[in-house]
Amino acid sequence: MPKLLHISDVHLDSRFAGLGLPPDLAAARRAEVRQAFTNLIGLAAAERVDAVLIAGDLFEHRWVTKATINAVREALHGLGDIPVLIAPGNHDPLVENSYYLTQEWPGNVRVFGRGRDGRVHPGLEAAELTALGLTVWGYGSYRYDSDEDVLAGAWTALSAAGGRGRRVLLFHGSDTTTVPEGVPLFQPLDPHRAAAAGFGYVALGHYHGPKAKTVDGALVVYPGSPEALNFGEPGDHGAFLVTFDTDGPFRAEFRRVGRRSHVTSQVDLTGVTGDDEALARILGAAQPEARRTDLFRLTLVGRLDPDLGLDLQDIRRRAAESFGFIELSDETRPDWDLEALGRGDSARALFVREVLAAIEAEPARRPYWERVLAAGLSAFEGRAVSR
């Protein structure tokens, strides 16, 4: 049974910026991304796939080194006669000095959008995989930003062309029926139109979480980044192995490749009696092996005895000894007895009643008013404000 490997969004040589990673960890993550790509090529060879589809953002054009590009070319060359089809995305677009254009690529590699003259020729192109009875239509992005419906003109011609059902679309863009929060819209694609144009498998890239769904009989898949790139990319990461019969539907099986997960969660400190117990709760957020490997962004929550006075700096320092990477933010709140504190004619009672009224009037700003309350009550008691 024919088999394909569908990869996307490897983001080789991503800087891992904006995460607050120490430089050596960011460098380790870049090496792990390179390793994830090597592992995927190894998977393609081990599974004896008939073709490899790369749906864009293979590398970050702005940061990728020549050494990385050479390693990629060598790895793809190592696949021998297994065809590798690449549809560049918005991080590795076919700009003038793109390595896709300036470098020789092995004979088994085809980059959609790169003409025989080594220049950009935008538009949807067909690659016939005759041995598989499959036509892969691909589009090479050549811009960093584009909210243009670049396939708009292609659908009618596609509907008229032969080979329905045994067609694959390889494309980097946004499935307009499910746009994840915070992901910029890039080359919008309506999967219903792709299904109507006869594509049985829609091999997408751009969204970084793995997703597979059936739309009007077409299997529409985002493999996601094989190694998670930030805290917006929780869960398992990898690629999809795709199989199909001559007449049957396409099937896609997820294979995990990513080494480290990004974990965002809360740790409830309600009821702790001191630093040691708080630390124990934080360590309890993950298994010891996961603490070493995965990256954690934990928020401390819950209501604490106002007299407890946790030493957060010390807790942070001790937690860091057990975690490979941990970010701790404190959203705990003192467990004041507000009803009692708000009774009477004291300035403090008046203050408490005013703040409670403000919270009631502006529930959306509750976190702000609770900080006001904590600061004010601490001041009334001559206590230092923690944070």
Does 50 bind Mn ion (CB under 5 A)? Our answer is no
The residue range among 14-22, 53-61, 196-204, 371-379 that interacts with Mn ion, by the rule CB under 5 A, is 53-61
Token readout for 333 is 């709140």
Footprint (CB under 5 A) of Mn ion, residues 338-367? none
Nearest distance from C-beta of residue 14 to Mn ion, angstroms: 9
Nearest distance from C-beta of residue 283 to Mn ion, angstroms: 34
The residue range among 9-17, 65-73, 178-186, 190-198 that interacts with Mn ion, by the rule CB under 5 A, is 9-17
Q: Kindly tell me which residue out of 5, 34, 39, 57 binds Mn ion, with binding defined by CB under 5 A.
A: 57
Nearest distance from C-beta of residue 318 to Mn ion, angstroms: 37
Q: Using CA of residue 86, residue 92, residue 96, residue 99, what is the dihedral sign?
A: negative
Residue number closest to Mn ion, CB atom: 57
Does 9 bind Mn ion (CB under 5 A)? Our answer is yes
**# residues contacting Mn ion (CB under 5 A):** 2
Does 13 bind Mn ion (CB under 5 A)? Our answer is no
Nearest distance from C-beta of residue 204 to Mn ion, angstroms: 11
Query: Which H helix or E strand runs over 42?
Result: helix 23-46
Q: What backbone phi and psi angles, to 5 degrees, belong to 278?
A: -60, -45
> Do the strands 295-301 and 262-268 form a parallel or antiparallel pair, or are they unpaired?
parallel
Nearest distance from C-beta of residue 224 to Mn ion, angstroms: 9
Secondary structure (DSSP) of 110-161: EETTB-TTSSB--SEEEEEEGGGTEEEEEE----S---S-TTTTTHHHHHHS
Token readout for 371 is 């900080």
Nearest distance from C-beta of residue 342 to Mn ion, angstroms: 52
Distance CA 359, CA 370 (A): 8
**Are the beta carbons of 199 and 169 closer than 8 angstroms?**
yes
Q: Residue 13 or residue 57: which is nearer to Mn ion going by CB? A: 57
Residues near Mn ion, by CB under 5 A = 9, 57
